[in-house]
Amino acid sequence: MNYQKVKGTQDFFNQQVLKYRYLEEVMTSLVKKFGYREIITPIFENTEVFVRGVGDETDIVKKEMYTFKDKGNRFVTLRPEGTAAVVRSFLENKMYVNTNLTKLYYFGPMFRYERPQAGRFRQFSQFGIEAFGDSSPLLDADVINSAFQIIKKLGISNIVLKINTIGDFASRQNYAKALKEYFRPQIQSFCEDCQSRLDRNPLRILDCKVDQNQPLVRQAPQINDYLTDEAKTYFSQVLGILDVLQIPYEVTPTLVRGLDYYTDTVFEFVIKSTDETNNLTLCGGGKYSDLIKSFGGPDLPGIGYAFGIERLMTILDEQDLMPDFSQNADVVIIGLDQIAKTVSLELATHLRLAGYVVEIDYRNTSMKPQFRLAETKNARFIIIIGEEELQNNTYTIKNTILKTQVSIAQSDIFKYLKENQK
Ligand code: HAM
């Protein structure tokens, strides 16, 4: 039988794993400086968490969730995103009790039944943050700032921050009414999903994957004209702080994001392409004032974002920004008979515990293949142990950079390596 991975999934090995972990390290160490702490939630949740959290008119809930009935007849769903799950955990564990602001980050796999294509997978990883408890333009700007600093640290260029406000609850209601009036006379020319969205959630028509590029959608009323004064002031304060922080942005009135929980500030970091429809979103997020309350919790706002790791990996490769991950060895030990090989293993253990990367050839006792191993591992030092070395309690050491070969007492090995390291 020929086993193959599930469509839209990937294996990571060799360099890919190192790149994946590198990104994890860069991102997590940076947001820790902003005061975020890690949270690990389960890979699957009761389906209701995402239906309620993300919104039942969204593509994610309607078409993309991996939902199944478990043996106890409960509906569970592989998480398609992190926010709703983190909110569920925040409430269940009453994290709000002793603090006004909770700042969390997460890193891990998400699952969406999407059509696989470049940058779009069915299992992909996100790095995300969520801050619960404060409503302040300063916090919004600082959340965006942390994503901006990650992008800067990684060195990514050709990227733009698109930002918009979708207003508070009152603004959204005014806007939804205007959209309904605008779309209703022409709704027959839209896909079936949009027809059902018209009365329930007309905002979702704007980011429908089928109808997104219809002229009618592009010319639809924009949220700006329906914002309350409060929402407008809040947004201009956020932009003012971004200006002070020297974070460039493009106000994008058509940006509404594909998840229902957002209110006020929404944003995406997008890699620009010559063809606008091919722009790749690396990171998306925004504020959500009502999500926690809608889960039955206290009336607390939240804000956050998530980066797609696979997309980041592609961009870092394309822009040649990945560090060199060659897995070299510091030392290769060559043993010329079985006794020498056992001694090699003992020495390797001591050296590894002292911090050196040490490889040995488990199979061969002849010189040639063992030297080949040293070559492929780009070993800095080659230690040779043969009959003579065993008898005299010495090691023969080749320094492959200085191209020298010396014989030293076994007890001097650490001294030698230290002195010759530079
Ligand atoms: P999202 O825009 O659905 O937002 O996803 C965030 C990022 O995940 C996207 O910008 C993209 O880089 C990546 N992504 C999404 N779907 C796929 C896919 N099928 N294959 C590869 N990468 C993908 C959220 O998930 C929100 N929870 C973000 C958030 C956090 N908002 C507030 N807090």
| Same domain? 105 vs 237 | yes
- Of all protein residues, the one whose alpha carbon is nearest to atom 14 of ligand 1 is 308
pLDDT digits (tens, 9 = 90+) for 280-323: 999 999 999 999 999 999 999 999 999 999 999 999 999 999 99
Distance separating alpha carbons of residues 392 and 381, to the nearest angstrom: 20
| Same domain? 82 vs 123 | yes
- Of all protein residues, the one whose alpha carbon is nearest to atom 18 of ligand 1 is 120
pLDDT band (50, 70, 90) for residue 325: confident
Q: Which amino acid is at 336?
A: L
- Rounded to the nearest whole angstrom, what is the distance from the C-alpha of residue 17 to the centroid of ligand 1? 21
pLDDT band (50, 70, 90) for residue 212: confident
pLDDT band (50, 70, 90) for residue 279: confident
| Same domain? 283 vs 380 | no
State which of 45, 106, 124 you would mutate to test the pocket of ligand 1, scoring each by most atoms of that ligand within 8 A of its C-beta: 124
The domain in which residue 243 lies consists of 15-168+228-318
* Residue where a domain stops, chosen among 292, 318, 344: 318
Pair 159, 267: CB distance under 8 Å: no
| Same domain? 258 vs 361 | no
Distance separating alpha carbons of residues 199 and 405, to the nearest angstrom: 81
pLDDT band (50, 70, 90) for residue 214: confident
- Rounded to the nearest whole angstrom, what is the distance from the C-alpha of residue 306 to the centroid of ligand 1? 6
80 close to ligand 1 (CB < 6 Angstrom): no
At residue 258, the pLDDT reads 87
Please identify, by atom number, the ligand 1 atom nearest to the C-alpha of residue 283.
10
- Rounded to the nearest whole angstrom, what is the distance from the C-alpha of residue 284 to the centroid of ligand 1? 6
For residue 203, tell me if it sits in a domain. Answer: no
| Same domain? 356 vs 406 | yes
For residue 4, tell me if it sits in a domain. Answer: no
- Of all protein residues, the one whose alpha carbon is nearest to atom 31 of ligand 1 is 285
Pair 264, 165: CB distance under 8 Å: yes
pLDDT band (50, 70, 90) for residue 209: confident
Strand partners, 108: 126
| Mean pLDDT confidence for 230-259 | 95
**pTM of the prediction?**
0.92
| Mean pLDDT confidence for 159-167 | 96
pLDDT digits (tens, 9 = 90+) for 166-189: 999 889 889 999 999 999 999 999
* Residue where a domain stops, chosen among 295, 318, 341: 318
Q: How many residues does the chain have?
A: 422
State which of 166, 271, 311 you would mutate to test the pocket of ligand 1, scoring each by most atoms of that ligand within 8 A of its C-beta: 311
| Mean pLDDT confidence for 111-135 | 97
| Mean pLDDT confidence for 232-238 | 97
Angle between helices 83-92 and 47-54 (to 10 degrees): 110
